[in-house]
Structures are given as C-alpha cells and as structure tokens.
Amino acid sequence: MTGKGMITVLAGVLLAGSAAQAADLAPETPYVESLPDTSRDHWVAVGDLNPLGNADTRVMLYDADTGKMLGMMSTGYWGSLSFFPKDSKNGGTKNIVTLETYFERGTRGQRRDYAVIYDGITLLPIHEIGIAPRRMTGFTQTQMGGLSDDGQFLAVTNFTPAQSVSIVNLAGASFADEVPTAGCGQIYPAGNRRFALLCGDGAMRMLTIDDAGAVRGQTDSEPFFDPFTDPVLVQAARKGNDWFFVSMDGYIHDVDVSGDTVKLKEKWSLLSDDEREDGWRTGGIQALAIHEADNKLYALMRQGGRETYEEPCDVVWVFDLATHKRVATIDLVNTTLAINVSPDAKPILTGASFKTVLPYWSLALVSILGAKFEELDVVKPALDVYDATSGAHLRTVDHAANFATSLTQP
Amino acid sequence: MGRLDQWFETRTREIARGTSRRGFLASASALMMGAAAVPLLPVARVSAAMPTDGDATSCDYWRYCAIDGFLCGCCGGSPSSCPPGTVVSAVTWVGTCRNPNDNKDYIISYNDCCGRSSCGRCACQRDEGDMPLYRSDAANDINWCAGSTADIVYNCSTAVIMGVSTGE
C-alpha cells in the first residue's frame, strides 16, 4: 500500500466514525433564554454609563451568587438607571423599569425620553411610556429617579437647566404630571404617594401626589445641613421612613420622611476626631448601603482631601445604627466606586470596582523592561461579591461593564 | 518578590483610582455654572486672548484644576475652543485655578462642547472645589450640554480664561 493509499484508508475510517457519532447527536436548535423565575435576592443590576459611547448606555443583570450574567437592557443616551417595583397590588410583578433617551438620528434630531417597563422574565419591553424629554443627566445618576413604595409611580428629575419633576403612572402606563421644583431635584421615595427632593438651600421638599399621579402639594422643610460649609452627598441610604445622608466631612444626617414635612431626626459622626484629622471620609459615588434587619450601615471609606470625595476606595466600614459604633472593617480586593448590600437574611455586599487584570509581578517585569507603567491599560471595571456579614471575598466578575456607576438591587 | 509585589499593588491601586477619575469618570460628566453669573464674580477681565502656556493635552495643565471631561485640546479644539461641528454649551460653571507661571488665580469657565458623541480622548477629572449636584454653581458632575442647542449630547470640555480673580 502506498503512503497515499494509507491516508485515504485512514481518512475513510475517521469519516465513518464521525458519521456514526453524528447519527447519535441530536441537532441543536438556537433559542432565547428567559430570566430564571427564582429568588432575586442576590441579583444585582449594574448601571453602565459607557462613557466612550454615551448613546449606548446599558443595565447589566448579574446573579452575584454565581457571577453569571443574566442579561441586559439597552437604555439609550446617558441612561443606565433601573428600578425594581416591589408591587404588591399587581400580583407581585417582577417587572423592571428603566429611564431611556433617544435622539431621532443617534446624536441629532428630536429627543424622546421614555420610562420603559420590561417584563422581568422575558426582558422584553411591555410599555414604552413617553415622558417629558427633559430628564437630568450627570455623572451620578443615582437619585435621579425613584419609585413610590407601592411601585405604582416613578418620579423623574428634570433639568434644562430649569428644574422640574415628572411623575409617571406605571400602573396605568401613562405620563401623569410635571411640576416646577426650582432649586430641588434629586428624589428620595417617602411612601406610596410622596417623594422627598433634595434642595440647594440645605432643605428637603416633600412632593405629594394623588392616586392619578397628579402633584397635589409641595412642602419645604427647615434646612438641615449647610450646603456651603459641609454639604451632604446626593446618594443616600434608606431604612424604613429614615433616609441617611453623609456629609463631605463625615457626618450622618438621619432624616425622617414619615410626615408631610421632612425633619432632621439625628446627626452623628462616622468619624472620631482623630480619624477626621487623618483625612478619612466616604468616597466613590454610591458610598452608603443599609441592611435593615441587621441595623447596619455600610460606608465606602478612603483617606484624602475633600477633592477626593468621589474617588474609589479600598475599605468598607460597617456601623451599628443603634450605637453609631464601627463594628467591622472590610478590606476590598479591588479599589471600589459603588457598593450595595442585599436585604435578605444572608446578605452579600457587592462592589463596582476597578481590577488590575495582570498580576503585579508581571507589571514589575514590564516596567523593568521599559514600559511606562502608568500608561499600561491594565485596570478594568469589575463586580466584586463579599459575604456582608463576615466580609469574606466570595468572587469577582471580570469586565462587568464598560464603566459601572451604580448598583441596584431588585 | 513579596515586597516588590506589594509595592506594585499599591501603585496599581493608585493608578486604578486615577484611571477611574481621569480615564473613566471624567468622560461621564461635564461641568459648569450659569454664565450669567460670571459678571458678578470678582474678576478682572483679561484684555487679550491668553496664549496656552502649557500642555493643553495634559490633565495636569493648570487650567484644568476643576475640570471633568474629555479635553477639547485632544478632540479638535483647544482649552478655549470647541471642535468643528460642535456647539458651545449655553451655560457653564466656573472654577478658580492658580497659574504657576505668575502665581495669580484665574477664573476658568468650563464650557462643554456639544452635538457629537463623547470624544473619548484625554479624559480628565480634577475635583478642586467640586460640589454635589444641588450646588449647581459648583457641580462638575452635571452634564451642562443640557442648556445647549444640541441638548444633552456631550463631546468634550474646555477651560476658558475669563479673567484674573481679584479675590474680592
């Protein structure tokens, strides 16, 4: 047998084997996944502002227990906010709501803003509710919208730069109202028919709506902080009828939103005098989270001057809300910009972070070989998951977004 | 390798912080305060256009002390001009930066350029004097293209000299 003949025989044997295997193999049919209809306690929505492509912002959904990406929503121009109505009246819907903006020709033409209701299983849009094309955009999208506690209404911050607030009737899938709110913008839900707004004079304004979503009243509180000497940060954490704001110098402002007028309940310091002297303060853009049942406040912390108040952090301090004492410190595996804590009995702490994707020794090596260390593109956005009780690092999801600026919990 | 490794970890964490500010965060925001307020500020108007006296493509350039965005100097414009095809934001906020060349404080207007998607080059965020959103007179996290004819479509940020701060 010649060499060529041998190859032919071998090929024939191999082909015959393949055919036999193919006969046993059921052909696959491509299909579309649905979101699992299971507990969402440890799901997290990562708001991706995608700064290199503002017209294509996203919300990425992850199961933090497995690190698996579940799906995503495209939120148009400078979107990335998502809301999870805990709707008890409409049969416990798992719908997801986003705020989205589109221009007729990408970045030109007529602007249209929508509150979009997605089915929480198929992730398909159920309703695209046209809203006033004036919603505010900024680096910190947090508190630019808020759900009523019953999930029936969504309030939206507008800025042209004149300030107003829109009310969207989610249950009726309609745009309900828009009212001027000069000097007040960011939104803090305060019941089924009330939204508190943060104002530039250091006060809060309570917006009251009726069952159709029409605004029926606006009541201003007394100023409870000095917006010039020690302003509070916009992102705040909620426990029941209390919203907790932190100031640039590290003072917690606990405000009560149970009545028609917002009241300062208590002001206390996150920091000892020595810690404040050493430049400790909160950092990042989503610095506070609360676990209500455990009565704990989680604060993303860093050292530095005031100008570092939005910079990422390496540590989380955990406080007992009853005693105001620090009860734990969690060292973070990556420098982190935003945190969230799940509300369940086995809570996880999630962090939107920046991960150095090469081992440090390799950076040392390329540096020795002459590469400009600072110019190496080795830092990528990631999602870190910790046991919120023990502080143990559980997993890191690499490249969780192009740029994560918010974490939202279903 | 342990100590070297630790040193590099510290350095890369620092870079990660810097990256987040200058490489990611910056792009997402813009700056400003009502331009109408500028005449009320203690400013001595500069009589002639001031030449660029530093590297306009470097985040460390003194004019950028309170900037937050992509540097227009890297995007077809300059510290005081917008790239072709864009429009200047109608409103802006101002910061005060010290010029190390003459040790004077200058009032800087951080106008955005609007009407094209984000430039994506030379992202730079320095937060000297930055305040939360409700302090819109000093908030560099606001997308101030909102006040422009191109609506909220943000391209890059300038750092226009308005005058010398008299400190009054």
pLDDT tens-digit series, residues A144-184: 999 999 999 999 999 999 999 999 999 999 999 999 999 99
Closest chain B residue by Cα to residue A302: B17
pLDDT value of position A284: 94
Name the residue in chain A with its Cα closest to that of B92. Answer: A161
CB A404 within 8 A of CB A358: no
- Chain B residue at shortest CA distance from A235: B132
From the list B21, B123, B147, the residue facing A160 with the nearest CB is B147
% residues pLDDT > 90 (chain A): 81
How far away is chain B from the Cα of A2, in angstroms, using its nearest Cα? 59
Gyration radius of chain B over CA positions: 16
Beta-carbon separation of A161 and B120 below 8 A: no
Residues A135 and A126: beta-carbon distance below 8 Å: no
A161, A361, A379 ranked by CB distance to B19: nearest: A379
Is the pLDDT confidence value at A88 over 50?
no
Cβ-defined contact of A103 to B127 (cutoff 8 Å)? no
What are residue A268's phi and psi, to 5 degrees?
-145, 165
Structural domain total, chain B: 1
**CA dist list (Å): A205 to A129, A187, A208, A260:** 26, 10, 10, 9
**Following DSSP, what letter does each residue of B19-51 receive, concatenated?**
IIIIIIIHHH------GGGGGGSSEEEPSSPPP
Residue of B1, B3, B8, B33 to mutate for A, most A C-beta atoms under 10 A: B8
Strand partners, B1: none
Q: What's phi and psi for A4, nearest 5 deg? A: -65, -40
pLDDT at B92 over 90: no
Contact yes or no for B134 and A335 at CB 8 A: no
**Is A232 in Cβ contact with B147 (below 8 Å)?**
no
Are A335 and B9 a contacting pair at CB < 8 A? Answer: no
Distance from CA of B149 to the nearest CA of A (A): 10
CB contact under 8 A, B4 and A364: yes
Over 90: is that where the pLDDT of A136 sits?
yes
The pLDDT value given to residue A358: 80
Nearest-angstrom CA–CA distance, A145 and A165: 9
CATH code, domain with B135:
2.60.30.10
**Looking at this predicted complex, what is its ipTM?**
0.86
* Mean pLDDT value across chain A: 92
Nearest-neighbour CA in chain B from A12: distance (Å): 56
**A396 touches A355 (CB < 8 A):** yes
pLDDT in tens, B36-86: 233 333 334 444 456 668 899 999 999 999 888 999 999 999 999 999 999
Residues of A in contact with B117 (CB under 8 A): 53-55, 106-107
Range of the domain at B43: 2-165
Task: Enter the tokens of residue A34.
Answer: 């649905």
Q: Is the peptide bond before A161 cis (omega within 30 degrees of 0)?
A: yes
CA–CA distance, B152 with B89 (Å, rounded to integer): 10
What's the whole-number mean pLDDT along residues A206-227? 97
Name every chain A residue with its beta carbon within 8 A of the beta carbon of B151: 103, 111
Closest residue, chain B, to A366 (C-alpha): B8
